Amino acid sequence: MLRNLGALAAAAFVVAGGAAYGGSWDERVFPPGAHVDFDAVAAAGPSALPALIDRGRVLFKAKFTTVDGAGRPKATQAIVPTRRKAGVNPPFTRTSGPDSNSCFGCHNDPVEGGSGDDVANAFVSEGFESAQFDTVDPSFSSERHTIALMGAGLVELLAREMTADLQAIRAAAVKEACQSGKAVRADLVSKGVRFGWIEAHPDGIVDLDSVDGVDADLIVRPFSRKGVFTSLRQFTINALNVHHGMEAVERFGARWTGTHDFAESGVPDAITAGDVSALVAFQATLPPPAVKTGLPGDWRAAAAEGEKQFDAIGCPSCHVKTLPLKSLVFTDPAPYDMAGTLRSGEVEAPIVIDLSVLPFAKTLQKNDQGAWLIPLMSDLKRHLVVDEQVNALGNELQAQRFVERDVFLTPRLWGVGSTAPYGHIGAFRMLDEIIAAHGGDARFSRDQYLALDPDKRDAVVAFLRALAIEAPR
Ligand code: HEC
Ligand code: HEC
């Protein structure tokens, strides 16, 4: 079981250094012994999962304190551990962070794990190193609206399967080119989504110029507005540092930085691998949004008409209604993370979370090949959404991780009826406004939408408004 977690309810702990732990009124999130031990959880198997998920919920809502290690006086929000060039970060800074006391501080609309109001927008730097800024000027960071995490485990599993497909296509093309001595062109298609094509040459070189909507390493990255993060685990470690100044050992600890307190918060090794896993388990098991039930008859009729229009005008070419998922078994750590996020080779055994035993699995349909149909309404692919005439989504000035400024991941629409305002910055108060703002590769579809009769446009809104995040699990 979780190391010492059962003792959380006990009244008295002794902090290293001698200060007494007051008891149940104590403000800290991590009384002595309250960190989760990854190996112990992995070894315990399914019986440990309910406690792990509960602990994840607690950590998601926890208000991290100074004695937990919150704050990063000497570290920036950068993904790669980076020290401030000069000076000391104050406890909170609205721009480059720490900007919030808990994950829940932003992800709370309409329930825990959800989206957030615009006041909870985050200012995201290009990511690697230039992460120290004290202005909201878009030359230094991109303002982003909080993304709801409902169904996030299913989303990550889809991306993992797509990555495996694309990388297998590449491997097969290289093999064929080597064996035949001729260049081989291969289309990159997974789950019906086309990511352009590659050409493999007999010398093993692969021409990647025509790869589309995914990174050149063919890893489908389903997280963030930009689609540049691979796993819940990677994102969680980033978020803990950016928003709260809570540094995970697996990235900021002695192995990579040579110190146990890189941020100089005064607390060594603030977040263990097991703590990250608890947060991941909570997020990965959040139920997906669902179509609202019990709607009045006129709304139901309008939504049915709206779905027809949505299909007819090409919205599903990006907002694909369902993607098939072969397996609901979520393993942590994830298969495609890079150094600085715990990797499967670094643990004795992974934590295995079988999502098919959760109540929400019963609501998922299957196709005739036995794959689960995940109704996320996204292709998990990046698209250009800005052109010369329609450029309301072209506000960002920074490329992020080599993805151009005006290119964004297709957002999942499965909970869109609950997460106004819309768009990557949350600048659109109404669905009609964000639909009209689609330019670039979505222009053809948006123009057809604008050409519809007003009642048909309104029906599309009725359809989208019925896709909702309802009560917590
Ligand atoms: C200040 C507000 C804020 C706080 C606090 C916050 N988030 Fe977020 N979260 C966001 C925003 C904004 C995005 C979208 C970021 C982007 O597009 O770059 C996001 C995105 C995410 C994503 C990616 C979701 C997806 O589907 O793309 C995950 C996972 C996530 N947050 C987890 C967390 C966790 C875990 C915590 C606490 C450790 C946390 N967040 C704290 C605002 C916040
Ligand atoms: C070429 C791909 C593409 C097509 C076609 C497309 N979309 Fe989108 N859609 C996107 C992308 C990418 C975004 C994210 C834009 C942003 O936030 O910068 C988006 C955003 C949205 C949002 C806002 C979601 C949110 O949570 O903020 C809605 C609603 C939406 N689209 C509906 C539609 C409708 C309705 C249609 C058909 C008229 C459509 N889309 C056609 C790619 C597409």
Contact 261, 267 (CB under 8 A): yes
Q: Does 24 score more than 70 pLDDT?
A: yes
| Residue 106 CA to ligand 2 centre (angstroms) | 22
* pLDDT computed for residue 471 by the predictor: 58
- Lowest-confidence range among 160-174, 423-437, 438-452, 457-471? 457-471
For atom 16 of ligand 1, which residue has the closest CA? 224
- Residue 236: CB within 6 Å of ligand 1? yes
pLDDT (tens digit, 9 = 90+) per residue, 442-454? 999 999 999 999 9
> Which residue type is seen at 160?
R
pLDDT (tens digit, 9 = 90+) per residue, 290-317? 999 999 999 999 999 999 999 999 999 9
* pLDDT computed for residue 130 by the predictor: 63
Q: Does 323 score more than 90 pLDDT?
A: yes
- Residue 445: CB within 6 Å of ligand 2? yes
pLDDT (tens digit, 9 = 90+) per residue, 233-255? 999 999 999 999 999 999 999 99
Contacts of 69 (CB under 8 A, 6+ apart): 245, 246, 247, 261, 263, 265, 266, 267, 268, 270, 271
| Residue 235 CA to ligand 1 centre (angstroms) | 8
| Residue 58 CA to ligand 1 centre (angstroms) | 16
Contact 311, 180 (CB under 8 A): no
Among residues 394, 423, 420, the alpha carbon closest in space to that of 407 is found at 394
Q: In this structure, are 38 and 116 located in the same domain?
A: yes
* pLDDT computed for residue 256 by the predictor: 96
For atom 19 of ligand 1, which residue has the closest CA? 146
Domain for residue 331, yes or no? no
- Residue 385: CB within 6 Å of ligand 2? yes
Angle at 217 between CA 215 and CA 219, to 5 degrees: 70
In whole angstroms, what is the distance from residue 225 CA to residue 124 CA?
11
- Residue 73: CB within 6 Å of ligand 2? no
Q: In this structure, are 378 and 441 located in the same domain?
A: yes
In whole angstroms, what is the distance from residue 301 CA to residue 295 CA?
10
Q: In this structure, are 36 and 92 located in the same domain?
A: yes
Angle at 221 between CA 77 and CA 249, to 5 degrees: 40
Q: In this structure, are 437 and 313 located in the same domain?
A: yes
Q: In this structure, are 28 and 110 located in the same domain?
A: yes
Choosing from 68, 79, 224 the residue with most ligand 1 atoms within 8 A of its CB, the one to mutate for a pocket test is 224
- HSE-CB for 314 with a 13 A CA cutoff: 12
pTM of the model as a whole:
0.96
Q: Does 364 score more than 60 pLDDT?
A: yes
Q: In this structure, are 56 and 171 located in the same domain?
A: no
Q: In this structure, are 39 and 113 located in the same domain?
A: yes
Domain for residue 389, yes or no? yes
Choosing from 438, 463, 465 the residue with most ligand 2 atoms within 8 A of its CB, the one to mutate for a pocket test is 438
In whole angstroms, what is the distance from residue 78 CA to residue 80 CA?
5
> Which residue type is seen at 79?
I
In whole angstroms, what is the distance from residue 346 CA to residue 105 CA?
32
- Residue 441: CB within 6 Å of ligand 2? yes
Look up the domain containing 112 and give its range.
5-147+228-284
| Residue 432 CA to ligand 1 centre (angstroms) | 25
pLDDT (tens digit, 9 = 90+) per residue, 252-270? 999 999 999 999 999 999 9
pLDDT (tens digit, 9 = 90+) per residue, 122-151? 999 876 666 788 888 998 899 999 999 999
Domain for residue 221, yes or no? no
The neighbour count for residue 20, using CB atoms within 10 Å, is 10
For atom 39 of ligand 2, which residue has the closest CA? 315
Q: In this structure, are 303 and 406 located in the same domain?
A: yes
Q: Which atom of ligand 2 is nearest to the CA of 441?
A: 1
- Alpha carbon 374 to chain centroid distance? 16
Q: In this structure, are 32 and 129 located in the same domain?
A: yes
- Residue 232: CB within 6 Å of ligand 1? yes
For atom 3 of ligand 1, which residue has the closest CA? 106
Among residues 155, 216, 220, the alpha carbon closest in space to that of 193 is found at 220
Tell which of 236, 269, 284 closes a domain: 284
pLDDT grade for 32, boundaries at 50, 70 and 90? confident
Q: In this structure, are 18 and 167 located in the same domain?
A: no
- Alpha carbon 291 to chain centroid distance? 22
- Residue 412: CB within 6 Å of ligand 2? no
For atom 41 of ligand 2, which residue has the closest CA? 315
pLDDT (tens digit, 9 = 90+) per residue, 276-292? 999 999 999 999 999 99
Q: Which atom of ligand 2 is nearest to the CA of 445?
A: 38
Burial class (CB in 10 A: 0-12, 13-18, 19+), 119: exposed
* pLDDT computed for residue 401 by the predictor: 78
| Residue 411 CA to ligand 2 centre (angstroms) | 7
Domain for residue 316, yes or no? yes
- Residue 122: CB within 6 Å of ligand 1? yes
- Residue 195: CB within 6 Å of ligand 2? no
Domain for residue 295, yes or no? yes
For atom 32 of ligand 1, which residue has the closest CA? 236
The number of folded domains in the chain is 3
* pLDDT computed for residue 152 by the predictor: 98
| Residue 112 CA to ligand 1 centre (angstroms) | 12
| Mean of the per-residue pLDDT values of the chain | 93
Contact 153, 353 (CB under 8 A): yes
Q: In this structure, are 16 and 62 located in the same domain?
A: yes
For atom 32 of ligand 2, which residue has the closest CA? 435
Q: Which atom of ligand 2 is nearest to the CA of 393?
A: 18
| Residue 288 CA to ligand 1 centre (angstroms) | 17
Contact 446, 266 (CB under 8 A): no
In whole angstroms, what is the distance from residue 409 CA to residue 421 CA?
17
* Mean pLDDT across 365-382: 98
Among residues 106, 130, 129, the alpha carbon closest in space to that of 117 is found at 106
CATH of the domain at 458: 1.10.760.10
* Mean pLDDT across 373-401: 95
| Residue 240 CA to ligand 1 centre (angstroms) | 9
Domain for residue 171, yes or no? yes
- Residue 414: CB within 6 Å of ligand 2? no
Domain for residue 416, yes or no? yes
Contact 277, 268 (CB under 8 A): no
In whole angstroms, what is the distance from residue 463 CA to residue 456 CA?
11
Q: 173-176, long-range: CB within 8 Å, 24+ apart, which pairs?
A: 173/198, 173/199, 173/200, 173/206, 174/200, 174/204, 174/206, 176/200
Q: In this structure, are 104 and 200 located in the same domain?
A: no
Q: Enter the tokens of residue 231.
A: 């796993």
- HSE-CB for 115 with a 13 A CA cutoff: 28
Ligand nearest to the CA of 424: 2
Domain for residue 25, yes or no? yes
